[in-house]
Structure 1
Amino acid sequence: MQTILFLCTGNSCRSLLSEAVFNHLAPEGWRALSAGSQPTGQLNPRAVALLQRKGISTEGYYSKSWDALPVTPDVVITVCGSAAGETCPAYLGPVLRAHWGVADPSHLVGSDEEIEAAFEETYRILRVRIEAFLAAPTLSQAALDRIGTLGAAC
């Protein structure tokens, strides 16, 4: 079993979306977890609603600390958005690491339509990257870095 960890600060939106989408698409032998360095303790309701609209289960998912991981991951991907000045947590274990920065739609101020559009865009970017990850013939640092540029940059 290969385990990928999607890591962010709060573990309520982007890392949750990544975990759920990855597990929805992943073949047997792969699984994703998500965690945060400072978890909020709750999942973002808009992220949960978006996943449900896409037919992706959120059962069993919760906001958790990286200190509570049941396994050591094989790959760690941070999804914090550097454009907003976020500080991404640094996972120091001996694993393949990549940064797939995506802007956090949960902090957007605007109309409901604008906020929903931002959540959809975040989902789209993460899904494109996860699909590329799963289609990659080999996992290398170069491949992970290239995948992190797909869809859009933040």
Structure 2
Amino acid sequence: MSDLLITLYPWVKAFHIIAVISWMAGLFYLPRLFVYHTEQSSPGDSRDEVFQIMEDKLLRVIMTPAMFASWLAGLMMVMTPGIVDWGAAWPYVKGAGVLGMTGFHYWLGLRRKDFVAGRNTLTGRQYRMMNEVPTILMVLIVLAVIVRF
């Protein structure tokens, strides 16, 4: 199994990067859609329906599969011999960042359910602030992996 993982490593790494880019694009865009949804529609109006379709497809068709693909490829890289130095801090920092990103993904899914039920209580300003969470986590993850502190 180790030999196969070593052989596939460049492909798995490329797939991981593609999946992470797709996931991140959604993590940046969905809160922005929530801003516009909050500020430009009311529950049940035609804009509400359009925003709900856009949010659902982004979350269900793009973000969630990209998240699972990121996790799968990431775990395959972790299992590849010689890739992770478990004596360093960076793999744990990256892992915490990825868990935070995953938690944020699920938080966004809960907010989408609030819109569907017509019970969103957050403001556009609050969604704008939450839109910074994936940026902070991304910086943490990239620095951990590249600088390897």
More helix by share: 2
TM-score, normalisation: structure 2:
0.30
TM-score, normalisation: structure 1:
0.29
Bigger radius of gyration: 2
Q: Structure with the greater relative contact order (CA < 8 A, sep ≥ 6): 1 or 2?
A: 2
